[in-house]
Amino acid sequence: MRIKVAGIGLTKFGELWDKSLLDLALEASYEAIEDSGIDKNKIDAVFVGNMLIGKIAGQDHLGPVITSSLGINCASFRIEGACASGGLAIHLAIQGILAGTYKNVLVVGAEKMTDAPSHQITWALMGASSSRERKAGLTFPALYALMTQAHMQKYGTTRKELAEVSVKNHYHASLNKKAHYPFEISIEKVLTSTSISSPITLFDSSPITDGAGAVVLSADTDSRGLPAGRQVFITGSAVASDTIDLAQRQSLSELKATQIASKKALEQAGAGIKDIQIAEVHDCFTIAEIMAMEDLGFCSKGTGGRFIAQGATRLGGSCPVNTSGGLKACGHPVGATGVKQIIEITTQLRKTAGARQVKNANIGLTQNVGGTGATVVIHVLQT
């Protein structure tokens, strides 16, 4: 597999009161199309990743809503898989290219979350879990709190180690102008912030964010006059599912779907996890990044907290993780997240990440999670 990331576009992430979902989707799309150098009329399919706009604003059928506004006339699709909607849209766009049906595809991930009052957004997001969990009153912080408790109990992971994830990602975000929260925080800040669902605090949790990202993917594998090593290709793409209910799993302290999907995607890319120089992972809560490190194989099971606390995944470390600021500090507009991850890795591999540039990075990985790991999408990108 060798699918070119021909163009990328990303809006500012944040509480964007003056912009609609469509404004955000179009801004990212136009930027990606311009960046690709491909005429918009040569886009032959649009894949939209979005979870919530039907529930929040009544708008479904986003494919032609976006193609209409872009003034293009091609096949279009909306893909939904909770917080993995963006990653799934990328994966299915790739299938269309590999099938030979589509040549140049625009993938747009977009979410407008702040228009809804907080009780409505909480209800809307709970659609990512099962009706049983909803009826039991298990919000997402509560579900991830169960996973956090299980991990702490089984492996001795500490509150301070969890906080280190948030501190690192806020540091990265402080170097990213597009981030929702581009400032540093301290360990103490995380530990003493409001408890959301014990042991998860406010600063263990990703925020409610508006934003959109778009990429143009192309079957064309030329490098369009770019300097050697600056053209980026997706070389692995895999999806795995797990039970929708946490209660049906044998273990609460791992995501099996991450293990399965990453193995497949790395095989496709002909790479091992030790080859990966940079990654964007799904840190919806701090425990999720710790489990991701372990389930991806960056470190052995149970040692994720220490691995992160030791600085390996901080800028300057052996494999920086979430240089964008991650979901925690760059923000988490759910349908956009999987696309933003691809954009961040592409930016890094192009060597255009500015103050947060990882030196000599030529191969990276993204991990996008839906719900509590019922869906996981892994992509591998290489120059």
Q: Which long-range contacts (CB under 8 A, 24 or more apart) does 170-173 make?
A: 170/325, 170/328, 170/329, 171/314, 171/315, 172/314, 172/315, 172/320, 172/322, 172/323, 172/324, 172/325, 172/326, 172/329, 172/330, 172/356, 173/324, 173/325, 173/326, 173/328, 173/329, 173/330
Distance of alpha carbon 143 from alpha carbon 371, whole angstroms: 9
When the beta carbons of 65 and 113 are compared against a second copy, the nearer one is 65
Minimum separation from the CB atom of position 352 to a second copy (A): 30
Closest approach, Cβ 43 to a second copy, in A, equals: 11
Binds a second copy by CB under 8 A, chosen from 65, 146, 266, 369? 65
According to CB under 8 A, which one of 239, 252, 266, 339 is a site residue for a second copy? Answer: 239
Cα–Cα distances in angstroms (integers) from residue 326 to residues 52, 171, 367, in the given order: 20, 10, 11
Catalytic residues: 83, 332
Q: Which is nearer to a second copy, 245 or 294 (CB)?
A: 245
Tokens 């909306």 identify what position?
78
Instruction: Report, in Å, the least distance between residue 72 CB and a second copy.
Output: 8
Q: In this complex, which beta carbon is closest to a second copy, that of residue 18 or of residue 177?
A: 18
How far is residue 314's CA from residue 291's CA, in Å, rounded to a whole number?
A: 16
- CB-wise, 239 or 315, nearer to a second copy? 239
Cα separation values, 317 from 11, 207, 257, 272, 308, Å: 28, 26, 27, 19, 10
Sign of the alpha-carbon torsion through 179, 182, 187, 189: negative
Q: Which is nearer to a second copy, 88 or 284 (CB)?
A: 88
Under rule CB under 8 A, residue 76 binds a second copy:
yes
C-alpha distances in Å from residue 314, one per residue of 28, 249, 318, 319: 28, 31, 8, 7
- Residue from 41, 68, 118, 221 binding a second copy (CB under 8 A): 68
Residue 148 three-state SS: helix
Does 208 engage in binding with a second copy (CB under 8 A)?
no
Among residues 327, 326, 338, 252, the alpha carbon closest in space to that of 295 is found at: 252
Instruction: Identify the residue among 192, 195, 221, 248 touching a second copy (CB under 8 A).
Output: 248
Binder among 17, 18, 100, 119 for a second copy (CB under 8 A): 100
Complex with a second copy: residue 224 or 249, whichever CB lies closer:
249
- Say how many CA atoms lie within 13 Å of 362 toward its Cβ: 6
Question: Contact between 126 and a second copy (CB under 8 A)?
Answer: yes
What tokens were used for 273?
């996890």
Which tokens is 92 given? 């299915």
Which CB sits closer to a second copy, 47 or 171?
Answer: 47
Exposed / middle / buried, residue 191 (Cβ in 10 Å: 0-12, 13-18, 19+): middle
Binding letters toward a second copy, positions 15-54, x by CB under 8 A: ------------------------------xx----x--x
Q: Which of residues 330-369 bind a second copy (CB under 8 A)?
A: none
Q: Does 134 bind a second copy (CB under 8 A)?
A: yes
Report the nearest approach of a second copy to the CB of residue 39 (Å): 17
Q: Does the footprint of a second copy cover residue 227 (CB under 8 A)?
A: no
**Interface with a second copy (CB under 8 A):** 45-46, 51, 54-55, 57-65, 67-68, 73-82, 88, 92, 94-101, 123-124, 126-131, 134, 238-245, 248, 260, 370-371, 374-375
